[in-house]
Chain A
Amino acid sequence: MGKKALVIDDNKNNLLLEKDLLEVAGFEVFEADNAADGIAIAKRENPDIILMDVRLPDMRGTDAARILRGDKETSDIPIVFVTSSVMAEGIEEIKDIPNSGFIGKPINTRTFVKQISQFIK
């Protein structure tokens, strides 16, 4: 059975790119372009991994991650922040979210899925 991945990103092109790469690798991909929808899907679908942008229209990706961590149903889902905020402040922001990872944009399409897979148990 293919693994479930949830991608939360407000930039439709990036969302599409990640979805393509994951689907090619056999993932069942769920999409959300804001945090609230993403959290709802996460609770409903219980994905194997969540790919999260940091700057989202309704809240910071890190705040969404904390909500997911605080909810029993989603607290164990690994979260990988795929973000353009590659400078020190951005990295500092996500540091204290447990069971999370970081991939800077622009992504390397040739290694992306491999990097993601490392965070799945």
Chain B
Amino acid sequence: MFWKRTATGSQEYSESIINTIREPLIALDQDLRVVSVSRSFYEVFKAKPEETVGQLIYDLGNKQWDIPKLRELLETILPQETTFDNYEVEHNFTTIGRRIMLLNARQIQRVLGKERIILLAIEDITERREIEHGLEKTRKELEVIKKSADEASEFAESVINTVREPLISLDQDLRVVAVSRSFYEFFQVKPEETVGQLIYDLGNKQWDIPKLRELLETILPQKTTFDNYEVEHDFATIGRRIMLLNARQIQRGLGKERIILLAIEDITERREIENGLEKTRKELAVIKKSADEASELAESIINTVREPLISLDQDLRVVAVSRSFYEFFQVKPEETVGQLIYDLGNKQWDIPKLRELLETILPQKTTFDNYEVEHDFATIGRRIMLLNARQIQRGLGKERIILLAIEDITERREIENGLEKAHEELKELAAELKRASRAKSEFLANMSHELRTPLNSINGFSEVLYDETFGPLNEKQKKYVNNVLTSGKHLLLLINQILDMAKVEAGKMKLSLSSLPMRSLLNEISLLVEDTVSKKKIEMSLEIAEDLPNIEVDELKVKEIIYNLLSNAVKFTPDGGKIGMRAKKARSEIEVVVWDTGVGIAPENMEKIFEGFFRVDTPYSRVTEGTGLGLPLSKKLVELHGGKFSVESKGLNRGTSVRFTLPIVSGKVV
């Protein structure tokens, strides 16, 4: 071998190196012909010594080494430089495929003055390059990761400083490493009072909470984390608060010391809200319970109300009906449930108006009230129904049902119509009555006026004649003119009594009250009939109590009453009969009785005597002057005073007794 022929110690050593190193090595002479190759060369390039030594390098292995870059290195660079390092050649070798080769060359002189040889080391860096590329890629990825780690760290920092939740980091001695901005704000402490301090000493030892000690000293070393520990504490700066504590024990960087990250959340308000929520929930439960009860109640109402009720599904098929529905429309459950409403009871419900309501109005409005439907039902005849409907949802998300209430208002409508008619008639009647009343008043006033005007002449001139003011009359003339005068006066009395009756009946009669001595008043009036009494030889007896008090009455009216009754007694009592008057105090009233033994009143006439113009048809009454208004007018005047008036008679020709009372003190306002 080449090395053996030029053997020296260093050369041998060199040879052993050449044959030991895995890197292929080739020695060329100045003509670039192979002098020798290392063992690894043969292995790497799968060449044999006999095909290699003495060959031009470019011709090696089927000329696979004829690479432009190699030619450039060996023929241009090396003669000038005598050395080149780490020239990379990428080439597609026929035997081993595409490879990246790293070429190093030395041009050396073998022994003094001898020819030069070129030592070419060929390193296949294909795999290395691949690894390097992978490494580069990894490095870049690493850089990205590092960058994002930095960003994450920055982000974390900014999160820490952004979150409102106070955050504190402690070292393993529980001294503050750092706190978030919000911590300072929340607990009203300053950085210089905080960092490096023992957590328990923070803010005037307000953090020295037994529960916190337990968490940090007992739980955290064992578990490295704790979540949602609730601490209620009275803080010096911010008062009683409920804090939610979360902690993590973490390692910052490999091999570095551990730190504790403690997040403090003030849940005081939240707890209050939660408590409120809980309360609300409980109230809701109560409401739900009452809603359930209400639902039960509703069910029982449906079955209790007399008004027929029917519930339909959205296809208008009957879901259920109330008991009263069956009764009212004379249908049976088996004919009803599941049926289309229009088909019920021999299609008697197929009413255009109902179709309109259920199909048009209800879908739009979900409710309708008081729709009136008049229809001739097969089972119950022509009826007016009042329909009310609600489209409701039974439970959340469930299907809708239609609740239809049917009220038969046929009778009610009839009554209402009747009532309305009656009301209108009544109104008309009232107006008519008012008009009539006014007309009557006007009529009476006119009548009174028109009758008095001629009566003024009749009575006036006959009085002047009778008094013989303008010359004497003979006996007959005087008697006749007196008849005219008497009749005139009778007519005047009649007019006055009619007017009084009308006034009392119209409620227009007014009393002018004064205090009167009743006893003397009764005596006074009795004198007025004395003439007639003596003429008719009638016996009159007066029984007037001595102690009669003064009485509060309208003087003229009371005189009129007593005169009417006494003159009636005289008129209706035959010659030789008896009349009388009794008066006494009875509690708060004075009671007066005027009696006679005269014609009396037949039971069948008892009512008629108060009707006016009624006079008992007797031989005596025929010839007697009278208006027939005295008794009814007296009764009305007594009643106007607040007294009572009654007439008794045992029958025809058995006398009459009239009893009346007057209150001593009038209840009437003057």
Q: Which residues of A contact B (CB under 8 A)?
A: 11, 13-14, 17, 20-21, 24, 55, 84-90, 104-110
Given A17-B456, A106-B455, A107-B456, check contact A87 B463 (CB 8 Å).
no
Chain B nearest CB, measured from A111 CB (Å): 11
A14 to B449, CA, bound (A): 13
B467 at the interface (CB under 8 A from A): yes
Closest to B461 in A: A17
List CB contacts (< 8 Å) of B421-479 with chain A.
444-445, 448-450, 452-461, 463-464, 467, 469-470
Interface centre among B452, B455, B492 (most CB of A within 10 A): B452
Is A105 in contact with B453, judged by CB distance below 8 angstroms? yes
Is B461 in contact with A106, judged by CB distance below 8 angstroms? no
In-complex Cβ contact of B453 among A14, A87, A110 (8 A): A14
Residues of chain A contacted by B444 (CB below 8 angstroms): 87
Given A13-B457, A89-B445, check contact A105 B467 (CB 8 Å).
no
A105 to B448, CA, bound (A): 10
B245 at the interface (CB under 8 A from A): no
Residues of chain A contacted by B449 (CB below 8 angstroms): 55, 84-85, 90
Is A11 in contact with B469, judged by CB distance below 8 angstroms? no
In-complex Cβ contact of B469 among A24, A55, A104 (8 A): A24
Is B463 in contact with A110, judged by CB distance below 8 angstroms? yes
How extensive is the interface on chain B, given as a class? 20 to 34
In-complex Cβ contact of B464 among A86, A87, A88, A109 (8 A): A109
A105 to B456, CA, bound (A): 6
Residues of chain B contacted by A106 (CB below 8 angstroms): 452, 455-456, 458-460, 488, 492
Residues of chain A contacted by B456 (CB below 8 angstroms): 11, 13-14, 17, 84, 105-107
| Tally of contacts, chain A with chain B, CB under 8 A | 65
Q: What are 7 A-to-B residue pairs whose CB atoms are below 8 Å?
A: A11-B453, A13-B454, A13-B461, A14-B460, A17-B460, A88-B510, A89-B445
A106 to B463, CA, bound (A): 11
Closest to B470 in A: A20
Given A14-B457, A17-B457, check contact A109 B463 (CB 8 Å).
yes
Residues of chain B contacted by A105 (CB below 8 angstroms): 452-453, 455-456
Residues of chain B contacted by A84 (CB below 8 angstroms): 448-450, 452-453, 456
Is A109 in contact with B467, judged by CB distance below 8 angstroms? yes
Residues of chain A contacted by B469 (CB below 8 angstroms): 20, 24
A104 to B450, CA, bound (A): 13
Residues of chain B contacted by A86 (CB below 8 angstroms): 448, 452
15 more A-B contacts (CB under 8 A) besides A85-B449, A107-B460? Answer: A11-B457, A13-B454, A13-B456, A13-B457, A14-B453, A17-B464, A24-B469, A85-B448, A87-B444, A89-B445, A90-B449, A104-B452, A106-B459, A106-B460, A109-B467
Interface centre among B456, B459, B499 (most CB of A within 10 A): B456
Closest to A55 in B: B449
Given A105-B452, A109-B467, check contact A87 B457 (CB 8 Å).
no
B508 at the interface (CB under 8 A from A): yes
Chain A nearest CB, measured from B74 CB (Å): 159
A107 to B454, CA, bound (A): 11
Residues of chain A contacted by B508 (CB below 8 angstroms): 88
A88 to B444, CA, bound (A): 12
Residues of chain B contacted by A85 (CB below 8 angstroms): 445, 448-449
Chain A nearest CB, measured from B450 CB (Å): 8
Chain B nearest CB, measured from A17 CB (Å): 4
In the complex, per-residue mask of B506-517: 1 if CB is within 8 Å of any chain A CB, else 0: 001010000000
A21 to B445, CA, bound (A): 28
A22 to B551, CA, bound (A): 42
Is B448 in contact with A87, judged by CB distance below 8 angstroms? yes
Residues of chain A contacted by B448 (CB below 8 angstroms): 84-87
Residues of chain B contacted by A88 (CB below 8 angstroms): 508, 510
A50 to B535, CA, bound (A): 45
Is A110 in contact with B455, judged by CB distance below 8 angstroms? no
